[in-house]
């Protein structure tokens, strides 16, 4: 840390993203990207858009916001587009929470929430999950505080029902409820229909997971027009050209190719079921996931050791150092071929463990 770094940020612990090795030689199951390319129409429109790269993008991203609004049956004023949904989450925290309005989220959830709270000097509180890693919605009913929930939750993959989300939104009418739907397309119910009835709800979604555009950085926030306008004020004060012209076009085309999208989500769900069964047969405990990953553990090997041994064998999975989940690993669902390699390496590690035990007898 330099001697010049502002005191305000000296205690900030940055979010630690999953590894992004640049040599590309790993089977990469650690950061929940799609294993599939975006629809083939995407690359030509990116090329075309790049011809005007000397010009700024539209600061209001009108065409893209219209496309997203049409897709969800909303109006463009209900849509804020952002450089990944992380940027939208940051504005949602900044705009509606402060020293007098703390924000509440589960103790085990997306690691970015406490980071943006600290960055913006927003006090936050957490509720622990139940022993089975489910959220107890009674903690949040009538709480009278701003709330942020990932649905499905990360890294557990467990989803709340639409009725449960509605219960939380309905009983906190004077507070903002942020629902982070980064993984919703893989099998949970989206709470977009609630936007017609509640004006204290904000929904964030991303093109990074189910829509294969993680490297393009595109997310969006849906909500009542007044809330979106407030967040847009912050966006304009921070980064008015936050979505670049190539990504904006890629987003529009990706939304249009809906059959391709539905098929890839279905394939992920199929591969998830396949992987879950295989892991359970090997003795793993596997949480019921509605996302494109599985959260798994097994007594015979620690989360950290499984992660390290898998990495040696060329397969990246995610391990978190938080003591409450340090026994666990999060495994992204990839193609069937990738999942077979993953499963084969797990079995190999177990065999090696047995041999090592045999030797030390």
Ligand X SMILES: *Cc1c(COP(=O)(O)O)cnc(C)c1O
State the residues that interact with ligand X by CB under 6 A.
Answer: 32, 84-86, 110, 150, 154, 180, 182, 206, 208, 214, 219
| Nearer residue to ligand X within complex by CB, 86 or 164 | 86
Residue 280, number of CB atoms within 10 A of its CB: 12
Could you give phi then psi for residue 19, rounded to 5 degrees? -60, 145
- Closest residue to ligand X, Cβ-based? 84
| Nearer residue to ligand X within complex by CB, 79 or 182 | 182
| Nearer residue to ligand X within complex by CB, 186 or 284 | 186
**Least spacing, CB of residue 344 vs ligand X, in Å:** 27
- Beta bridge partners, 180, equal 150, 204
| Nearer residue to ligand X within complex by CB, 157 or 345 | 157
Contact of 296 with 306, CB cutoff 8 Å: no
Contact of 247 with 104, CB cutoff 8 Å: no
Pair type for strands 285-286 and 293-297: antiparallel
Torsion of CA 247, 253, 259, 261, to 10 degrees: 0
Alpha-carbon gap, residue 65 to 52, rounded angstroms: 20
**Least spacing, CB of residue 100 vs ligand X, in Å:** 26
**Least spacing, CB of residue 299 vs ligand X, in Å:** 27
If you count DSSP H runs as helices and E runs as strands, how many of each does the chain have, helices first? 10, 13
**Least spacing, CB of residue 355 vs ligand X, in Å:** 37
| Nearer residue to ligand X within complex by CB, 92 or 227 | 92
**Least spacing, CB of residue 178 vs ligand X, in Å:** 10
**Collapsed DSSP state (helix, strand, coil) of residue 108:** coil
**Least spacing, CB of residue 110 vs ligand X, in Å:** 4
**Least spacing, CB of residue 219 vs ligand X, in Å:** 4
Alpha-carbon gap, residue 78 to 194, rounded angstroms: 13
Contact of 292 with 328, CB cutoff 8 Å: no
| Nearer residue to ligand X within complex by CB, 318 or 345 | 318
| Nearer residue to ligand X within complex by CB, 126 or 302 | 126
| Nearer residue to ligand X within complex by CB, 206 or 309 | 206
Chain position carrying tokens 């993008």: 57
CA–CA distances in Å: residue 208 to residues 88, 161, 180, 246: 13, 23, 13, 15
Contact of 226 with 254, CB cutoff 8 Å: no
Alpha-carbon gap, residue 291 to 219, rounded angstroms: 17
**Least spacing, CB of residue 87 vs ligand X, in Å:** 7
Helix axes 85-96, 112-119, angle to 10 degrees: 50
């Amino acid at each position: 840390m330099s001697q010049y770094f502002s005191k305000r940020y000296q205690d900030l612990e940055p979010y630690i993203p999953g590894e992004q090795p640049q040599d590309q030689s790993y089977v990469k199951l650690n950061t929940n990207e799609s294993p599939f390319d975006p629809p083939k129409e995407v690359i030509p429109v990116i090329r075309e858009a790049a011809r005007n790269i000397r010009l700024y993008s539209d600061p209001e991203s009108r065409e893209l916001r219209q496309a997203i609004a049409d897709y969800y049956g909303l109006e463009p004023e209900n849509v804020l587009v952002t450089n990944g949904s992380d940027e939208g989450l940051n504005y949602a925290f900044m705009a509606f929470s402060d020293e007098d309005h703390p924000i509440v989220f589960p103790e085990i959830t997306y690691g970015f929430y406490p980071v943006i709270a600290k960055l913006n000097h927003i006090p936050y509180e957490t509720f622990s999950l139940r022993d089975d890693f489910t959220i107890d919605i009674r903690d949040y009913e009538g709480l009278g505080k701003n709330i942020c929930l990932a649905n499905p939750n990360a890294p557990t993959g467990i989803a709340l029902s639409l009725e449960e989300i509605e219960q939380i939104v309905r009983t906190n009418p004077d507070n903002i409820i942020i629902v982070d739907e980064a993984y919703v397309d893989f099998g949970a119910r989206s709470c977009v229909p609630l936007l017609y009835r509640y004006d204290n709800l904000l929904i964030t979604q991303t093109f990074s997971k189910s829509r294969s555009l993680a490297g393009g950085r595109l997310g969006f926030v849906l909500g009542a027009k007044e809330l979106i306008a407030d967040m847009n004020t912050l966006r304009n004060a921070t980064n008015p050209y936050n979505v670049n012209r190539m990504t904006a076009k890629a987003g529009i085309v990706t939304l249009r190719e809906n059959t391709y999208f539905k098929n890839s989500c279905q394939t992920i769900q199929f591969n998830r079921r396949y992987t879950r069964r295989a892991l359970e047969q090997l003795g793993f405990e596997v949480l019921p996931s509605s996302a494109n990953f599985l959260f798994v553990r097994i007594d015979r090997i620690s989360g950290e050791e499984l992660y390290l041994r898998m990495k040696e064998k060329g397969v990246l999975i995610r391990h978190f150092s938080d003591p409450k989940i340090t026994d666990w690993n999060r495994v992204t669902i990839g193609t069937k071929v990738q999942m077979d390699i993953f499963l084969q390496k797990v079995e190999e590690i177990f065999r090696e463990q047995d041999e090592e035990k045999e030797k030390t007898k």
